[in-house]
Amino acid sequence: MMEGMLQGLMTAISPFNIVMVVSGCIIGTLIGMLPGLGPMSIIAIMIPIAISIGDPSSALILLAGVYYGAIFGGSTSSILINAPGVASTVATAFDGYPMARRGQAGKALTIAAIASFCGGTIGAILLMAFAPALSSVALLFHSAEYFALMVLGLSAIAAFAGSGSVGKALMMTVLGLIMATVGEAALFNAPRFTGGVQEFQSGFSFITLAMAMFALPEALYLVLDPNRSGKAGEGGGEIRDMRITREEAWTIAPVIGRQSLQGFFIGVLPGAGATIASFLGYAVERNLATKEEQAEFGKGSIKGLAAPESANNAACSGSFVPLLTLGIPGSGTTAILLGALMSLNVSPGPRLMIDEPDIFWSVIISMYLGNLVLLMLNLPLIPYIAKLLAIPRNYLIPFILFFTLMGSYIGQNNATELLILVGLGLAATVLRFADYPLAPLLIGFILGRMLEDNFARAMQLYDGFGFILERPMTIGLLVIATALVLLPSYRARRARLLRKGVAQGD
Amino acid sequence: MTILLTRRGLAACAAAFALSLGGVAQAEPKIGSVHFLIPGGAGGGWDGTARGVGEALTRAGLVGNASFENMSGGGGGKAMTWLIDNARSNYNVLMVNSTPMIIRGLNGEVDQTFRDLTNIAGVVGDYAALVVNTDSPINSFGDLKAAYDANPNQVAIGGGSVPGGMDHLITSMIMQASGADPLAVKYIPYDTGGPAMAALLSGEIKALSTGLSEAIELARAGEVKIIGITATERVPAYPDAPTFREQGVDMEFVNWRGFFAAPGLPEDQAAAYRETIAAMYETEAWEEVRARNGWVNIHNSGPEFTAFLEKQEAEMKALMTKLGFL
């Protein structure tokens, strides 16, 4: 094994492969910043170039660079314009965007960059140390456990329920779960709730819904509320804001450490991935935080930003475990990577590490380099990117609207998506005015489909609810989920009773 | 789309994007330009087939240039409706499709069938296979059948499609041909091939119904054993895999992929498309694309293609009726 590693190291630090890492990271991070273009579409576009390189190691190093580069850059649009382009950066917007609105865009971007760097690097180290051993962990979860894990992911909504409007947050979650059932399900061979509209047959697309729930109402809100739109334009571009104080660094360090580990292990599971990792990271950190810090979550907490950012990048590294050691793609993106590898006559699987240690180790080693490159690339750019918010609102809002519409159109290449987007966006704006939190809806939607599919499979395999009792890990996860949901509500209730009369916030 | 994220689908997609680079046309091709209509998104099996064929045709100089359009929606129905509604202005369009077109036409998910289009040719195909974990005690279809007969509830078979979708119908076809009640089969659906494969390796399901090219890759990696393939004879690419037929299970199945043109297409133009595709099989460019994607040449042109589709439709209809999906 040492010999293979050494060989991989030599391959990874060859000048050509360093160029590959750097260019992969640059392309990934730049395109990842645009909402609507997730890592999946960028990698698909990059594949012909990778294949023309011919050498599988270099090709995979380039594509992997694009992948984690895009995850790294993906936080930018979430933080700046509340437009998460991929599901794994939805949780980043929860606290990243409020920070940007407060005029701390630079700081938010810096924290996101550092959290991403640590998540990615720790993920790469774990990958190197344990990848061969972890292939069995990847197979530990059955549908029953995935179902329980999705329930646990849903407990992230507790973060929005704690501030008083428990009922509203729950209603929005249920609405999200309902929306996830539109279209064809894995359960039935028939479209459900489409109202006969052909466009609904494949369900709502994630990007459209994310834009409609987050970016569009935000832009409309700014137009409709001249007071806020007047003053918010300042501050964002101030460079001094990007510095993190020593105190803040100490606050987020344990969060990053925990979430890098947790995120990595969730990423290893082929049926979970970066999105679940980011929601769980957010939920867990909120529950571990002190009472004062908890009140900050959802309003611009640095912990709430660091948690999902380190978790999703670590999960991205983790997803290479089933890909490289079992040949199983856990997500759409890794599936495309697998396709690229097979075009280059490399079959990932248990034999890859033995037959072609060179490829196996050089990719993993290139991940450290890649994360370092990303950090060096992103940090100096942050002041300029943050300046974007200093653009006067009457220019910025059309710009946001343009990216919102484009993001939703690009994915499907279908003009009807635009109508759906505007319709949902208007509905979301009304809900926002009525003070309904929109994040729970999106969480419900993202997790709903996986929740239902895994539940249905478990029910079928065990002929009923037996799986809950027969599989100890399932019941364990469900108990944790219940605790995560009930505890904050209980604590919030007690706190409310204690200081009656204090404003309940929104 | 059930074939979206399987290994072969992705290998196809990878290749599909590769060809946007190629395409140096030689002088005077028979057909000036073809616009390929892809009823699903980028990266799926349909996408890979259309782009692969387009690449081979242009590189071989059989077609001047090829353009591609993805029009997803309604399980392929949106593109079909569009082509039929705008038929007369789109005689230069070839739409790719495959076995799910038959299934969705039968269950009413898509309103039109191949009868509403001009059938050009079936181009490539893939057989199906049943695989089990390498360390499974099951070594042949007979072993699986014995386990199934002992307790059908304990033999969960998975696949990468919805119940009533392709992988499920293949599983049912196999079980029915072996004399078992297809209704009693415990079929567990997964979104795509990846999670289904993870479920097989983790022991959640006993066997997996998947495409043969994907099964071969996994068998070569030492992760699965192929206990039966739906071809009539053993395939040269992996002669160790037994057919169902030689194990006494009389059935065959091919997941075809082929092309359709607008209804009312003049006969001479249809003939030109068919000749061009037939000529493609002789070219080096095609051999390269085919090998890269692991496709099997299964060429059915014009009336043969229609007859093949009608036969498959009748088989599927009988099975789907029996299973209660119709």
Tell me if A478 sits within 8 A of A149, measured CB to CB: no
Task: Tell whether B142 and B162 lie within a shared domain.
Answer: yes
pLDDT digits (tens, 9 = 90+) for A104-163: 888 999 999 999 999 999 999 999 888 878 888 888 889 999 999 999 888 777 666 655
Q: How far is CA B148 from CA B142, B180, B200, in A?
A: 10, 9, 17
pLDDT of A228 over the 70 cut: no
Do residues B50 and B96 make contact, with C-beta atoms less than 8 angstroms apart? yes
**CB–CB contact A48 B20 (8 Å):** yes
Beta carbons of B18 and A47 less than 8 Å apart: yes
Share in percent of chain A as helix, strand, coil (round to 5): 80, 0, 20
The size of the A-B interface in CB pairs under 8 A is 172
Do B13 and A45 form a contact (C-beta atoms < 8 A)? no
| Residue B319 or B291, more confident | B319
Of residues A85 and B219, which shows the higher confidence score?
B219
Q: Considering only alpha carbons, which residue of chain B is nearest residue A457?
A: B188
Summary mean pLDDT of chain B: 86
What is the reported pLDDT for B3?
A: 37
Indicate if the pLDDT at residue B15 is higher than 50. Answer: no
By CB atoms closer than 10 A (0-12, 13-18, 19+), residue A238 is middle
Per-residue pLDDT of B223-239, as tens digits, reads: 899 999 999 999 888 89
What mean pLDDT do residues A463-476 have? 89
- Mean pLDDT across chain A: 84
CA distance A205 to chain B (A): 11
Min distance A464 CA to chain B CA atoms (Å): 12
At A415 the pLDDT is 80
| Whether B121 and B139 share a structural domain | no
What is the torsional sign of CA A152, A117, A273, A362? negative
Residue A49: other Cβ atoms inside 10 A: 17
Quick check: A201 and B107 CB within 8 A?
no
CA-nearest residue to A336 within chain B is: B10
E strand intervals along A249-335: none
Decide if A44 and B10 are in contact by the 8 Å CB cutoff. Answer: no
- Look at A143 and B11 and tell me if their CB atoms are within 8 Å: no
Least confident of A160-174, A219-233, B23-37, B238-252: A219-233
Chain B residue numbers with beta carbons less than 8 Å from the beta carbon of A198 are 73-74, 77-78, 81
Amino acid at B97: N
Model pLDDT, residue A226: 65
- Any CB–CB contact under 8 A between B75 and chain A? yes
Q: Return the pLDDT at A299.
A: 86
Structure tokens at A190: 């028939």
Q: Which member of B15, B77, B162 has the closest CB to residue A343? A: B15
Is the pLDDT assigned to residue B5 strictly greater than 50? no
Residue B171 vs residue A7, higher pLDDT: B171
pTM: 0.83
Final residue of a domain: which of B222, B247, B272? B247
Does residue A237 carry a pLDDT above 90?
A: no
β-pairing verdict for B93-98 and B254-261: antiparallel
Rounded (10°) angle between helices B45-59 and B7-18: 40
Task: Give the CATH number of the domain where residue B305 resides.
Answer: 3.40.190.150
**Do B214 and B184 lie in a common domain?**
yes
The more confidently predicted of residues A250 and A162 is A250
pLDDT for A436: 87
- In this complex, which of A185, A201, A413 lies closest to B75 when CB atoms are compared? A201
If pLDDT is split at 50, 70 and 90, which confidence band does B17 have? very low
What is the domain-level CATH number for residue B190? 3.40.190.10
Give the least confident one: A261-265, B65-69, B280-284. Answer: B65-69
Q: What is residue A233's predicted lDDT score, i.e. its pLDDT?
A: 46
- Are B219 and B298 members of one domain? no
Contact A326 B198 (CB under 8 A): yes
Closest C-alpha among A103, A318, A125 to residue A231: A103
If one compares B79 and B292, the residue with the highest pLDDT of the two is B79
B101 and B142, same domain (yes or no): no
More confident residue, A165 or B209: B209
* Mean pLDDT, residues A83-107 taken together: 88
pLDDT above 70 as % of chain A: 91
Number of Cβ within 10 Å of residue B65's Cβ equals 15
What DSSP element (H or E) covers B31?
strand B31-38
C-alpha distance from A356 to closest chain B C-alpha (Å):
13
- pLDDT confidence of residue A500: 67
For range A32-50, the mean pLDDT: 77
Average the pLDDT over B299-305 and give the result: 93
Tell me the residue type at A340. A
User: By mean pLDDT, which of A54-68, A230-244, A415-429, B70-84 is the weakest?
Assistant: A230-244
> Does B238 lie at the interface with A, CB-CB under 8 angstroms?
no
Please say if the pLDDT value at position B104 is more than 70: yes
pLDDT band at B24 (very low <50, low <70, confident <90, very high): very low
Q: What is the pLDDT of residue A236?
A: 43
CA dihedral A124, A126, A127, A128 (to 10 degrees): 90
Residues B97 and B239 in one domain: no
Of the candidate ranges A83-92, A157-166, A333-342, B120-129, the one whose mean pLDDT is the lowest: A157-166
Neighboring chain A residues of B10 at a CB cutoff of 8 Å: 329, 335-336, 338-340, 342
Placement of tokens 């999960």 in the chain: A315
* Average pLDDT value for residue range A479-494: 77
pLDDT band at A73 (very low <50, low <70, confident <90, very high): confident
CB spacing of A139 vs B198 below 8 angstroms:
yes
- B187 and B267: one domain? no
- Choose the weakest-confidence range: A31-35, A421-425, B151-155, B281-285: A31-35
B262-278 CB burial, b ≥16 within 10 A, e <16: beebeeeebeebbebbe
Q: In this structure, are B112 and B149 located in the same domain?
A: no
A365 to chain B, closest Cα gap in Å: 24
User: Which residue out of B84, B200, B204 would a mutagenesis test of the A interface target, given it has the greatest number of A Cβ atoms within 10 Å?
Assistant: B204
CA-to-CA separations, A224 to A217, A308, A389, B169, B193, in angstroms, rounded: 10, 31, 18, 54, 47
SS3 category, B156: strand
Residue A490, CB half-sphere, CA atoms under 13 Å: how many?
A: 7
| Residue B128 · residue B253 · CB < 8 Å | yes
User: Given a cut of 50, is residue B8 above it in pLDDT?
Assistant: no
Handedness of CA B304, B306, B312, B314 (dihedral sign): negative
Chain B interface test: which of A457, A459, A474 (most B C-beta within 10 Å): A457
Confidence at B43, pLDDT banded by 50, 70, 90:
low
B16 and B112 together in one domain: yes
- CB atoms B186 and A460 under 8 Å: yes
> Which residue range is the domain that position B199 belongs to?
127-247
The pairs formed by A461-467 with CB atoms below 8 angstroms and a separation of 24 or more are A461/A142, A461/A143, A461/A144, A461/B156, A461/B186, A461/B188, A461/B204, A462/A144, A463/B153, A467/A144
Chain A residues within 8 A of B12 when measuring between CB atoms:
339
Distance in Å from the first CA to the final CA of chain A: 56
CB of B111 within 8 Å of any CB in chain A?
no
* B301 within 8 A of B274, measured Cβ to Cβ: yes
Q: Please state the rounded mean pLDDT for residues A205-213.
A: 87
* Binary contact (B109, A338; C-beta < 8 A): no
On whether both B65 and B46 belong to a single domain, the answer is yes
Say if residue B12 is in the same domain as residue B117.
Answer: yes
Between the alpha carbon of residue A11 and those of residues A344, A359, B243, the distances in Å are 17, 8, 43
User: Within this chain, do residues B140 and B180 fall inside the same structural domain, yes or no?
Assistant: yes
Contact B221/A270, CB-based, under 8 Å?
no
B 25-44 residues inside an 8 A Cβ radius of A: 41-43
- Domain total in chain B: 2
| Residues of A with Cβ-Cβ distance to B51 under 8 angstroms | none
Strands B296-301 and B63-70, by their bridges, are unpaired
Integer angstrom CA distances of residue A209 from A90, A262, A360, A399, B245 = 11, 28, 38, 19, 49
pLDDT tier for residue B57 given thresholds of 50, 70 and 90: very high
Q: What is the rounded CA–CA span in Å between residue A174 and residue B36?
A: 41
For residue A41, the chain B residue with the least C-alpha distance is B42
pLDDT at position A505: 45
